Amino acid sequence: MNHANSLKFYVGGQWVDPLSSDRMGVENPATEEIVCEVALGGEADADRAVMAARAAFAGWTVRPVAERIAVLKRVLEVYNDRYEDFAQAMAVEMGAPIEWARGAQAWAGQVHIEATIKAAESFHWEEMRGTTKIIREGIGVCTLITPWNWPMNQIACKVAPALVAGCTMVLKPSEIAPLSGVLFAEVCDAAGVPPGVFNLINGTGPGVGARLTSHPEVDMVSFTGSTRAGTAVAAAAAPTVKRVAQELGGKSPNIILPTADLAAAVKAGVEGCFGNTGQSCDAPTRMFVHRDQHDRALVHAKEAADAVVIGDTQDVATTMGPLVSKMQFDKVQAMIQAGIDEGATLVAGGIGRPAGVNRGWYVRPTVFGNVTNDMVIAREEIFGPVLSIIPYDTVDEAVAAANDTPYGLAAYVAGPIAEARAVARRLRAGMVNLNYPAWDTFAPFGGYKQSGNGREYADWGIHDFCEVKGVVGWGE
């Protein structure tokens, strides 16, 4: 793909040269090769982008909703035209196997834009309550900071609702996986998004992110990333009382009820944990199985782990790619070693690269059994293909252990639907998945506790980018 704009920023409807001279190599984690360089901005770049968004806000936010939706529809059309470019970009920048890049990563951006369009067309932008008119309008200038693990999923989940709500924005994608973000800016430009409504700059969290989250002309920050970084974002935003929406870390439990189809539930749970090389904040990384079924569950889990196909990310048969960077590789290796040191049973995988692999940040799909909920591998977010299987004696015990975490992003339950529903009501998580359902882009996505605040997807995301105005006496 063409990387011509990787050394530029998109500000005020134009591709501009950065005011900073810093650059960073973009690595293909499957080969450890630098594929291109990306410009890294500084505070002056952040200021220029924010002021472009501020200048565009007054005109954009009063445009009729139908016109704003029409602009987003054009974005979707151009996105679809460049669908394969997005898949290839994410295959390169994050090492996603090409079939996963097409069927999950690029697809996620597409379906979230579609869901936002549908939600916006039926959204209650205005309503009467007695004689008071309730009006929902764009909150203002928004900073959007997105992660490297689901680049287009998160960009679409922020840009699309902000756009239709009447906000203007500055997007800072992850500098680790920036190519898909640059490509999305090209899409917005080709789709005719008015100048200044959408702006993109690349940079690091300390270099650009800190300025974008503290800038006095920014009204809202929408951030997806680690809980540690999220607390820094909230602190930076606090002095100017910005609205902050955060989707942060997770350590999601997966309770397999004694009455579930054990083999099917374990297989699906392993696949859910290992999807995206385990680099998903809502991955079901803690599998709870009844103690009487624990040893059989380990057999099923090993079979599922051994079925993973690791290889060339351009090979359609490959089902797992590398981790995104050496930093992630080293972290995951340390966590696997911690599990071994703590005495958990190593069922599959372990330390080191897979057999026959001598380059790229590939890890062995790893399963631990006989894990207790106080072990490091059960407490900390690993962000790699590492599953902890935890035995329980009663469902009450499983629910208590599932909730015994600082996180609350997602949870999973497998078993007869009536029993699963009853357990779901007791789990402290923003999204509970029963029997591994299909992805629902109209369900609210976001977390309890240290997994964040606010909700994304469809109308839930639109709400987060709106202020609510009550005009009292309208109907007198």
How far apart, in Å, are the Cα atoms of 261 and each of 120, 297, 367?
A: 40, 11, 20
What residue type is 385 in one-letter code?
P
How far apart, in Å, are the Cα atoms of 252 and each of 140, 142, 314, 321, 427?
A: 34, 29, 30, 22, 10
Comparing C-alpha atoms, which of 247, 272, 257 is closest to residue 430? Answer: 247
Rounded to the nearest 10 degrees, the angle between the axes of helix 65-81 and helix 151-165 is 160
Q: How many residues are given for the chain? A: 476
Comparing C-alpha atoms, which of 105, 94, 97 is closest to residue 323? Answer: 94
Pairing of strands 366-369, 386-392: parallel
Catalytic residue among 175, 247, 381, 456: 247
Catalytic residue among 273, 281, 456, 466: 281
Tally the C-alpha atoms within 13 A of residue 435's C-alpha that lie toward its C-beta: 10
Residue 14: beta bridge partners?
Answer: 11
Is 247 catalytic? The answer is: yes
Is 27 catalytic? The answer is: no
Pairing of strands 141-145, 243-247: unpaired
Q: Which residues are catalytic?
A: 247, 281
